[in-house]
Amino acid sequence: MKINRREFLSLTGKSAAGAMIFAACGLPEKELIVQSPVGYPEDLVRGEDAWYATSMPDYTNGDGVIVRVVQGRATKVEGNPDHPINRGVATARYDSTLQILYHPDRIKEPLSRYSKSGNVINTSWNKATNDFKNMIRDSKDKITIITNPLRSHSSYVASEFAKKFGAKNMHFDPINQNTQQNTLKRIFDLDRLPHFDIENSHTILSFGADWLSTWHSPAQYNEMYGAFREGKGGDRGYFIHVDPRMSNTAASSDLWLSPIPGTEGDLALGIAHEIITSKLVDEKFINKYLSVVDINLDEYSTSIVANKCDISEEKIKEAAKHFAKHTPSIAFGGGSSEAHTNGTFATIAIYSLNILTNSINAKGGILPNPESALPKINSTATGNSLSDWENEINRWSNGEVKTLIIRGVDIIHGMPKFTGIEEAISKVENVVCFGQVYNDTMEYADLILPEDTCFESWDTNIPEPAPGYQVIGTQQPIVGQTMTSDGTGIISNSKSFGDLILQISKDLGENFGNDMESIIKNDLKELHGNVSNGSIISTNPDNFTNGILQRGGWWNLSNKNKTFKLSSKGIASIKSNSNFSSVENYAGEDHISDVNHHSSDFYLAPFVSNSILDGRLAYAPWAQQTPDPISSASWSTWVEINSRQAENLNIREGDVLEITSSNGSIEALAYPHPGIRPGVIGVPIGQGNKNGGRYAEGRGSNVLSILANMRDSESGALAWAATKVSVNKTGNRRKVPKMEGEVEARPVEPGVPVLVVSPNETAKEAQEHNHHQYQKELFEKKDSKSKSDH
Amino acid sequence: MDLENKHKDNEAKSGIFNLPKLPFNFPKLPIKLPKPPPPPTHLGDVELPKTLMYLLPIGGLFTLAFVGAIASFIITAWWGQPIPVLGFEQTFDQPINFPHTVHASTKQLDYKDADGNVMVGLGTDCTFCHRTVNKNTAAGANAYIPPVNFCANCHGVIGSEDNVQLNILRDAAGIIGEDGTSPINWRRVHRLPDHVRFVHEPHIRYLSANPEHIKGETDGVTTGPSAVCSTCHGNVASMEKVYQVEPLKMRQCVDCHRDNGAPTDCATCHH
Amino acid sequence: MTTDVEKFGTRNWGMIADLDKCTGCQACVLACQAENNIPINTQDRVERARSISWIRVERYWEGDFPDTKARFIPIMCQHCENAPCEPVCPVYASYHNSEGLNVQVYNRCVGTRYCANACPYIVRFFNYWDPVWPESLRNHLNPDVTIRSRGIMEKCSFCIQRINRTSRKAKSEGRELEDGEIQTACSAACGTHGIVFGDLNDPDSRVSKLKNNKRAFTLLEQFGTDPNVIYLAKVDPHKKGSEEGHH
């Protein structure tokens, strides 16, 4: 028992002598121990206050981070000011990764399961490695290795392993970007995601993508958004966002358009039609656009589109005017707009808007990204499409796969249930799982190997999208094997995925590297021979490598060798396809989006959580407790529903709702608010883990599990935003754990506390105006009241 | 007549509130007690009570002394350190008997080396081992103990192979033994009160620049950062086992800060 | 002889939060939590409305669908020059120092909670429970910040440990502090560089310049608390200017 002075004060009231003796001899053993570890990592590389530059590819788009290490323990993660991706800024997820590193339920030792239905038992690394080797030896050409989409040395090791052992290398991402990647390849001939030059843009028109919180590279986009808002020369940028649900990206926009889900493509063509008919841009660009998008635009006149999307004509006209006139402007989209059965159509319609404003390959528009600076590593990675996965899962069921190696993904949690993955995976003879915390996939694993976090292992990362030039981010171990804080034991006897695969391959006679550290350092030395300029210039390859590791990466601002051209081939093939004209659009044919509509039918709009992502960070208590930007809810799964419609349906906040699709049902707490289209419900992704340690286990529900079997007709990607559900009250009611209401709101009069000004107004003027307005209304109310009283 | 009216009646009679009459009678006071027996006239006949008569005052004095001891213990503990009795020592047996004399002193020691020669202290600077102490880092907040590997740099070679104490270190560093490396858990000697954020670096910097404010003496080197440590830590170079010399309570801190024009804002130390 | 304290008391720390740049992303909230050893706000604590967040992002709704607008504002201790929390404290645990900080001295606090009642911004938090971290999570605690025990108030300190550390560093290197050298956890994390921290007494600092921006206002100005946190108003191009309003 530790007694501090405060408690001493309270104890003296009871018994002075007793308290003092407690205070004097109650010093806990722990307090008195000063541990002297074998070596301090601070001694290896010296830095001010021991901040190490590294990166976290599993949780970010290779953002550069600096981590504060005190006495061998990582205590704080911040953005690396030097790194060109995030330029020093952070997201709401950086620090949560520390809690994965120090998670109280981290897997300590390798675990092994002897029969499919049995429990796991602790085993030694020696035995686990031998078992793993035997599995690979016995199942040559019948191996599948699954990782998250990575552009790093880990992915190089995984693909090399696949080549050497005849294995199939798959990538899994629950919220995949196949449609967008396919479309960009088709119409712009781009092999990788382009750079959106938000910083220099004056108008942004974005569709679906929640790019300020989770989409692609949020830290990079946020940083550029700050500059966009400030505007060059005081010309504040104008931001239009299209999304049926108000995400925090939509909340930051100046004009929010909320179409019926699935009509985003029509809206994009409607805006194009408005620009063309009102001749808002140069004739040259109109012709270019029409030559590429060769369809009858009359079908997308403003009034037709307004009706179809349920958006007022004025708003469409306003969006078109701003987009065309306030240039440079940029249009991009993804996320929920591409996750429909007509995703490719919508994505083409969205991105081709850039032709009208000449934003392709232009400052403030879309810029191409060069290829990777390291020849071994791809500059792009996407999850495999739903069709690929269905084939793969079939192979599992048919016994064509004997060994499955899974790293960095919780595929059982992330894959919709209709794929039958749970039955299929239990038919695979050997399932080997890497990870930090026991997750739902490990429930099916025969061998569970504790894996190093990004703070303990060597790796690299090629960010995608890159900022328009070549970037390599490096990841280095910044903490040693983690001791518990009293020094009595280790948190996890984990090993690096890359190192282990390399070692096992070597033992099986396929040597493609000794360990990650040496491969990475060699590759960086090779880079030194290949490049003449960049962020590190040194004559000595060793100094060059050390310089890169110290700064957390290497980048070459001058390298912009790749330009991109419009490929009419891609458009033509789509043109001939009947799907291009607005398709069997599942949405829009009935009017469930009417506020007064009493049906329980809704469009389900799942969204990636701002704090726990797709569930990757659900294990971390900080990520769990971070309030959602819109609902301020935490620790749970909630259902966002339009407040007026909820009133009509007699749904109140905290009602437990049952959401039923054709593939099952989940329960979640109602959270009505005015920022979502009637007829649409928003449900965050990431909760509903059956396992996952003390903070995630059994919490909320997994919306991914009930998605309908729908896919984009062109790319075969899962149409995760296309599920239709019915919503019913269960009769139960619980408190929504949320920050809102914890302190009383203070909007006693307009402008308090969030003062809003028009572009040419000063804060003082706005405040005075608000005050006058408030008093006027107050007196009018009083007058009418006193009149009615008499 | 109900109770209320009864009250009223009583009030009317006496003007004050009277209790209603009880249904039974108390014995009237003073109660007559039986007469006590007469005191014994011959004390010498009764042995035990006589002894008691002498013992009681002695016992009282003992009790007083005991309470006083505890009280003084509390007071000294409150103002300074507890008196080093009853296990409240300021020093402990450490996992390794590390003699600061051998490493830091510049004087002749009682030790004899392996060849039988009288040893003279090495006279190393404090910051040679406590490397972070004059650095402006979070680590510099504590003069923290060097890592095992650092000790092993020298002691892998220096010192007898039979030296039990050194072999504990060599085992921890993985030089001998087969169980790999392991940390050494030292016990903390100097401990500030709760809620204090103390950083060595500015103190060392200031006192180095203003040596007239240094208090205390040292057997160790008297130049560089080492010279100033004695102000708070005493003559560590002369200690076989380190113990806390100064109370290191707030009063001492504030006095010194005031004398030297350092900030006395609460937030300087408490945050 | 120059002393260490030559510069102490000549500064006036202040913060600018640009509401036009705030995207409500919560990066500041988490950065603050990690920096200042704020206990984990468990579901139980959140449901009882007793969670602690020194900085929070409040979201206000404006209008109804389809013209809904969400407005974000980060709210932390305003470090008022006329702080209502200071005179009510019976033990002087809440006081104003000469650098413009409203300081909470944890070891003086006896937990009367008067200050929390007096604060119009509701940024003071009471520790209803002892902070608990599982053994392994104690590794990531910041050694520079006191862990507050049950029964005392806590609030945003403008990351005083960072102010002290950076000032110390400048002194030991024998130079003046540069503007922007001190970053609080929230200003360092802010995704859009919307939070700026600096010395309001230095006329060349970024905060001083932004303070004179025409959009600058302080929260609940009518209370006369004179905060050291200054907000820049949110710009809405669709808002009708006041010149058309009542003139």
Q: Do B147 and A4 touch (CB under 8 A)?
A: no
Q: Do B87 and A70 touch (CB under 8 A)?
A: no
B72 near A CB under 8 A: no
C221 near A CB under 8 A: yes
Pick among 3.40.50.740, 3.40.30.10, 3.40.50.300, 3.40.50.10860: CATH of A111-171+380-461+490-556 = 3.40.50.740
Chain A residues close to C53, C-beta within 8 Å: 739
DSSP conformation class of B31: P
Using left for φ > 0, alpha for ψ between -120 and 50, and beta otherwise, residue A587 falls in beta
| Cα–Cα distance, C168 to B208 (Å, whole number) | 16
Asked whether the CA dihedral A487, A493, A497, A503 is positive or negative, the reply is: positive
Q: Do A35 and B147 touch (CB under 8 A)?
A: no
- Name the token pair of A438: 């026991």
Q: Do C5 and B262 touch (CB under 8 A)?
A: yes
Q: Do B210 and C105 touch (CB under 8 A)?
A: no
Q: What is the arrangement of strands in the sheet containing C195-199, beginning at the earlier edge strand?
A: C195-199, C13-18, C229-232, C216-217
> Is residue B162 assigned to a domain?
no
Mean pLDDT, consecutive 10-residue stretches, chain A (790 aa), reads 38 32 34 50 43 89 88 86 90 93 92 88 93 91 92 93 93 88 82 90 94 92 93 84 94 94 90 93 89 81 90 94 92 90 87 90 87 87 90 94 93 92 93 94 94 92 89 88 64 91 93 91 88 82 88 80 57 46 42 54 92 92 94 94 91 94 93 92 93 92 92 85 90 91 73 85 89 86 64
B168 near A CB under 8 A: no
Identify the pLDDT of residue A621: 95
Nearest to A36 among B137, B139, B146 (CB): B146
Residues B109 and B83 in one domain: no
Bridge partners for A448 per DSSP: A111, A433
- Name the token pair of C92: 């002087």
Identify the pLDDT of residue A373: 87
Residues B76 and B108 in one domain: no
C243 near A CB under 8 A: yes
Identify the pLDDT of residue A747: 67
Identify the pLDDT of residue A11: 35
C201 is in which domain, residue-wise? 13-237
> Contact C179/C171 with Cβ under 8 angstroms?
no
Q: Do B183 and A487 touch (CB under 8 A)?
A: yes
Q: Do B183 and A50 touch (CB under 8 A)?
A: no
Q: Do A50 and B185 touch (CB under 8 A)?
A: no
B194 near A CB under 8 A: yes
Residues B223 and B256 in one domain: yes
> Contact A261/A721 with Cβ under 8 angstroms?
yes
B57 is in which domain, residue-wise? 50-88
Chain A residues close to C61, C-beta within 8 Å: 673-675
| Assigned superfamily of A179-367 | Dimethylsulfoxide Reductase, domain 2 (3.40.228.10)
Q: Between A and B, how many CB-CB pairs are < 8 A? A: 86
Q: Tokens 């919503």 identify what position?
A: A727
pLDDT, tens digit, 9 for 90 and up, residues B147-180 = 788 888 888 888 888 888 899 888 888 888 777 7
Asked whether the CA dihedral A222, A224, A230, A235 is positive or negative, the reply is: negative
Identify the pLDDT of residue C227: 94
Chain C residues close to B205, C-beta within 8 Å: 4, 171-172
> Is residue C199 assigned to a domain?
yes
Burial of A479 (0-12, 13-18, 19+ CB in 10 A): buried
Reduced to 3 states (helix: H, G, I; strand: E, B; else coil), residue A327 is coil
Residues B115 and B227 in one domain: yes
Domain locations in chain A?
1-32, 41-101, 111-171+380-461+490-556, 179-367, 601-733, 746-790
Chain B residues close to C105, C-beta within 8 Å: 266-267, 270
Nearest CA in chain C to B194: C107
Q: What is the CATH number of domain A601-733?
A: 2.40.40.20
Chain B residues close to A43, C-beta within 8 Å: 147, 150
Contacts 24+ apart (CB under 8 A), B54-63: none
Q: Which of A178, A16, A73 is nearest to A486 (CA)?
A: A73
| Cα–Cα distance, A334 to A173 (Å, whole number) | 15
Residues B140 and B61 in one domain: no
Chain B residues close to C165, C-beta within 8 Å: 136, 138
- Name the token pair of A575: 């043109």
Residues B209 and B241 in one domain: yes
Q: Do C246 and A258 touch (CB under 8 A)?
A: no
How many helices, marked H, and strands, marked E, lie in chain B?
10, 3
Nearest to B136 among C105, C144, C169 (CB): C169
Tell me which of A688-702, B31-45, B60-74 is least confident.
B31-45
The count of domains in chain C is 1
> Is residue C109 assigned to a domain?
yes
Chain C residues close to A741, C-beta within 8 Å: 49
Q: How high does pLDDT run on average in chain B?
A: 77
- Name the token pair of B39: 């005191």
Closest CA of chain B from C102, distance in Å: 10
Q: Between A and C, how many CB-CB pairs are < 8 A? A: 313
pLDDT, tens digit, 9 for 90 and up, residues B93-152 = 888 888 898 898 888 887 777 677 888 888 888 888 887 787 766 555 555 678 788 888
Q: How high does pLDDT run on average in chain C?
A: 89
pLDDT, tens digit, 9 for 90 and up, residues B209-239 = 888 888 888 888 888 778 888 888 888 888 8
B258 near A CB under 8 A: no
Chain B residues close to C171, C-beta within 8 Å: 202, 205
C73 near A CB under 8 A: yes
Q: Name the more confident of C93 and B244.
A: C93
Identify the pLDDT of residue B5: 53
> Contact A670/A681 with Cβ under 8 angstroms?
no
> Please, what is the angle between helix A497-507 and helix A153-164, to 10°?
30
3-state secondary structure A179-207: HHHHHHHHHHCCCCCCEECHHHCCEEEEE
- Residues in B 168-187 with any Cβ partner in C closer than 8 A: none
Q: Do C168 and B136 touch (CB under 8 A)?
A: yes
How would DSSP label each residue in B89-141?
-S----SS---HHHHH--SEEEEE-TTSPEEE-----HHHHSTTTTSSSTGGG
> Is residue B20 assigned to a domain?
no
Chain A residues close to B184, C-beta within 8 Å: 35-36
Nearest CA in chain A to C19: A754
Residues B136 and B58 in one domain: no
Residues B198 and B254 in one domain: yes
| Cα–Cα distance, C80 to A274 (Å, whole number) | 52
> Is residue C1 assigned to a domain?
no
Reduced to 3 states (helix: H, G, I; strand: E, B; else coil), residue A160 is helix
Q: Do B138 and A50 touch (CB under 8 A)?
A: yes
Q: Do B270 and C5 touch (CB under 8 A)?
A: no
Neighbouring CB atoms inside 10 A of B118's CB total 10
Using left for φ > 0, alpha for ψ between -120 and 50, and beta otherwise, residue B64 falls in alpha
Nearest CA in chain A to B70: A17
Q: Do C97 and B262 touch (CB under 8 A)?
A: no
Q: Do B270 and C171 touch (CB under 8 A)?
A: no
Read off the CATH number of the domain in which C101 is found: 3.30.70.20
Contacting chains of C (3 CB pairs or more, <8 Å) are: A, B
DSSP conformation class of A618: T
Chain A residues close to B181, C-beta within 8 Å: 38
> Is residue B120 assigned to a domain?
yes
A33 near B CB under 8 A: yes
Residues B201 and B138 in one domain: yes
Nearest to C146 among B262, B263, B271 (CB): B271
B259 near C CB under 8 A: no
Bridge partners for A673 per DSSP: A642
Q: Do C105 and B263 touch (CB under 8 A)?
A: no
> Is residue B6 assigned to a domain?
no
The count of domains in chain B is 2
| Rounded to 5°, angle at Cα C179 from C178 and C183 | 100
> Please, what is the angle between helix A516-530 and helix A541-551, to 10°?
110
Nearest CA in chain A to C21: A226
Question: What share of chain B in percent tops pLDDT 90?
Answer: 4
Report the residue of C242, C243, C244, C246 to disrupt the A interface, i.e. the one with the largest count of A CBs within 10 Å: C242
| Cα–Cα distance, A652 to A656 (Å, whole number) | 9
Q: Do C5 and B261 touch (CB under 8 A)?
A: yes
| Cα–Cα distance, C61 to A754 (Å, whole number) | 10
C145 near A CB under 8 A: no
Interior/surface letters C180-199, b for 16+ CB within 10 angstroms, e for the rest: eebbbbbbbbbbbbbbbbbb
C179 near B CB under 8 A: no
Nearest CA in chain A to B74: A20
ipTM: 0.93
Going by pLDDT thresholds of 50, 70 and 90, the confidence category of residue C41 is very high
Nearest CA in chain C to A217: C191
Going by pLDDT thresholds of 50, 70 and 90, the confidence category of residue C8 is low
Going by pLDDT thresholds of 50, 70 and 90, the confidence category of residue B86 is low
B136 near C CB under 8 A: yes
> Is residue C44 assigned to a domain?
yes
Q: What is the arrangement of strands in the sheet containing A64-70, beginning at the earlier edge strand?
A: A51-55, A64-70, A73-79
Q: What is the CATH number of domain A41-101?
A: 3.30.200.210
Residues B139 and B259 in one domain: yes
Residues B216 and B256 in one domain: yes
Q: Do C41 and A625 touch (CB under 8 A)?
A: yes
| Rounded to 5°, angle at Cα A672 from A666 and A678 | 90
Q: Do C144 and B267 touch (CB under 8 A)?
A: no
C203 near A CB under 8 A: no
| Cα–Cα distance, A539 to A363 (Å, whole number) | 34
Nearest to C236 among A673, A675, A758 (CB): A758
Identify the pLDDT of residue A278: 92
Residues B141 and B204 in one domain: yes
